[in-house]
Amino acid sequence: MITTVTKAIFPVAGLGTRFLPATKSIPKEIMTLVDRPLIQYAIDEAREAGITDFIFVTAKGKSALEDYFDRAPELEKKLRDSNKTALLEELKRSDMESGSIAYIRQREAKGLGHAVWCARRFIGDEPFAVLLPDDVISGQQGCLKQMIDAYRETGGNMVAAMQVPDSQTKNYGIIDKGAENGRLVSVKGMVEKPALGTAPSNLAVIGRYILRPEVMDALGKFQQGAGGEIQLTDAIADQIDQGRPVHGFRFEGTRFDCGSKAGFLQATVAFALERSDLREEFGVFLDSITHLHHAAE
């Protein structure tokens, strides 16, 4: 069984309605946390984990995202001529090797599972990673790297898992837990967005996966799951029914839900405070605004 993972799918074809009107013309994945687009954080995490083939599932209206990965020779020349070395380095960090990116079109927003399935011909019979760029995870070591390290031992399928409060289980795919071993949890079942009070646990699946190619076959079989969309969760749950192992991995790090406005704002503040060039000025501003907010209450 192959346990080396070199291909990653980035489903970026969603409509991003929670960020309207901005997403009328700006793909959500290009929106910036401080000065880096969301997609750049996901790319950096994938590279750190050893991914060499980057497969984007895009859609109509996402051309700004495709343009982002083009080289910018005029800009580079200008920065070089004016000796702006640090900015030039920053620009080059976003360069992608020729031939390392593929774009696939999802012609209709039929859900995450359908978006992943659209990439099936690029996956063949290898295991692959899926990264949702709206889940931004900060930490000592990238979440996908931690998962791939664990996956070398376990094989099978793996999903990133995170504890959430009772009130929030209805917003996630939730794991029915089996045996636990350190950061690993054996997954007995998975339920997509369970009604309040019916969740099998508080362990939620978040947007990092390592999947076996059989998941593509399951996605191909599926009609419509919860909410009229083809759910990735259903295809993974189907693997369990087929007797194939699925592991939950409790990653180390902080996850921000940048698909929601509150999460995006929290990530912006957290990432700005991590930056040595912004920390002081921004920190003073935050203190003053928090003070004013408390005074008004």
Q: How far is the CB of 135 from ligand UTP (least distance, A)?
A: 8
Q: How far is the CB of 273 from ligand UTP (least distance, A)?
A: 25
* Positions that interact with ligand UTP (CB under 6 A): 11-18, 28, 57, 106, 109-112, 114-115, 132-134, 259
Helix or strand or coil: residue 158?
A: strand
**Of 11 and 248, CB closest to ligand UTP:** 11
Residue nearest to ligand UTP (CB): 14
Alpha-carbon gap, residue 263 to 218, rounded angstroms: 32
Helix or strand or coil: residue 149?
A: helix
**Of 112 and 246, CB closest to ligand UTP:** 112
Torsion of CA 224, 159, 33, 292, to 10 degrees: 100
DSSP category for residue 243: T
At 234, the amino acid letter reads D
Per the omega criterion (within 30 degrees of 0), is the bond before 21 cis? yes
Does residue 193 contact residue 229 with C-beta atoms inside 8 Å?
A: no
Beta-carbon count within 10 A of 43 CB = 25
Write phi, then psi, for 191 (nearest 5 degrees): -125, 130
**Of 111 and 156, CB closest to ligand UTP:** 111
Q: How far is the CB of 190 from ligand UTP (least distance, A)?
A: 16
Nearest to 53 by CA among 114, 2, 98, 107: 98
**Of 51 and 57, CB closest to ligand UTP:** 57
**Of 23 and 154, CB closest to ligand UTP:** 23
**Of 135 and 186, CB closest to ligand UTP:** 135
